[in-house]
Amino acid sequence: MDNARRHTLGVMLLGGTIALVLLGPLIWPVPHTAMDLGARNAPASLAHPLGTDQLGRDLAARLLAGGRISLAVALVAALVGTGLGLAIGLAAGMSRALDAPLMRLTDIFLSLPLLPLLLIAATVLRAPLAAIFGPEAGIFALITLSIGATNWMATARILRAEVRAVMKRDFIAAARLAGIGPSRIAFFHILPNISAPLGVSAAQAAAAAILMESALSFLGLGFPPDLPSWGRLIYEGTPHLGTYPGRALWPGALIAVTATGITCLGDRLGGPPQ
């Protein structure tokens, strides 16, 4: 697939999912927590287009709600991760003194066993964060912050290289001679010149975040049942794969479509050479 078509595909897949998740409730306004106990484990019908689960909750409504959670996690975690990566990449690229320590820190983070550590963090920090932010916001903060905090290394490395390349250009020297301070140089002179790789890194961070969140939820250490992210829905659906395959396959397909869409978008500028 050439790059332009891949880009179109990415826009279509991601845009379609976002539109579905945001506009879906207008067409299908069933609350995802409403239990229809007369229709438990119901097959697909007009009342429940994708069937219901063991508590009679509408699967279509749960998928839409789950999509909003999964995409919100991806967005916030990617913002946290890209923000950290940008700050570290800028600092390491602009300052010779900070470069070596920051890059060693990046190396150490790259060697961390991420999934086990995130599993530990999700277990250990759950109660304290829930006490601060309340149960629902607490778990959201826990998952987005811990994914973001472990998802900045690639961004930092790429942006550091880009920043160093920009720093060698004449207009930076000119700006320095004009007496412009480093934060102003970073914001007005460097940032516009690294916006393309920054965008690609952010897209890749978002794809990684959506996969990581669903992995945590899949292992039962992510979102609770009344906050059904797509990963959580797969976790609930997998034991019933033989009897009700749709329950695990629908959310799985949506994760796959979203992640593929984001990856296609990111590939256009980043990724290995085609």
Partner 1 sequence: MRASALRRLAMTLPTLLVISALIFALLELAPGDPMAQLPDSIPAEVRADMAAALGLDQSGPVRYALWLRQMLVVEPSVALDRLLGTDLAEGAPRILSWQTRAPVMSLIAQRLPQTLAVVGLAYLIGTLAAVALGVWSAARQGTALDRAGTAVAAMGYGLPPYFTAAVLIYVFAIWLGWVPTVYDTTHRVTGWDSAAVQLRQIILPVAVLSLQTTAQITRYTRAAMLEALGQNYIRTARAKGLTQRRVLLRHALRNSWVATLTVIALGAPQVFAGAIITEQIFGVNGIGQLLIQSLHVGDLPVVQTVTMLIAVLIVLANLAADLLIARIDPRPDHG
Residues at the contact surface with partner 1, assessed by CB under 8 A = 1, 6, 104, 107-108, 110-117, 119-121, 123-125, 127-128, 207, 211, 214-215, 218-221, 231, 234, 237-238, 241-242, 245, 248-249, 252-253, 255-256, 259-264, 267, 271-274
Nearest-approach distance from CB 178 to partner 1, in angstroms? 34
Distance from C-alpha of 21 to C-alpha of 99, rounded to nearest angstrom:
42
Q: Answer whether 247's CB lies under 8 Å from 59's CB.
A: yes
Nearest-approach distance from CB 2 to partner 1, in angstroms? 9
Nearer to partner 1, 42 or 210 (CB): 210
Distance from C-alpha of 218 to C-alpha of 200, rounded to nearest angstrom:
27
Nearest-approach distance from CB 223 to partner 1, in angstroms? 15
Nearer to partner 1, 11 or 39 (CB): 11
Q: Answer whether 195's CB lies under 8 Å from 207's CB.
A: no
Question: Token pair 């932010």 is at which residue?
Answer: 133
Instruction: Compute the half-sphere exposure of residue 221: CA atoms within 13 Å on the CB side of its CA.
Output: 18
Nearer to partner 1, 86 or 213 (CB): 213
CA trace torsion 252, 74, 68, 53 (10° rounding): 30
Nearer to partner 1, 93 or 252 (CB): 252
What does each C-alpha distance from 65 to 58, 90, 163, 191, 273 come to in angstroms?
11, 37, 40, 36, 37
Nearest-approach distance from CB 146 to partner 1, in angstroms? 10
Q: Which two tokens stand for residue 104?
A: 């060693």
Nearer to partner 1, 164 or 176 (CB): 164
Nearest-approach distance from CB 72 to partner 1, in angstroms? 18
Distance from C-alpha of 206 to C-alpha of 87, rounded to nearest angstrom:
18
Nearer to partner 1, 194 or 208 (CB): 208
Nearest-approach distance from CB 115 to partner 1, in angstroms? 4
Helix (H/G/I), strand (E/B), else coil: 46: coil
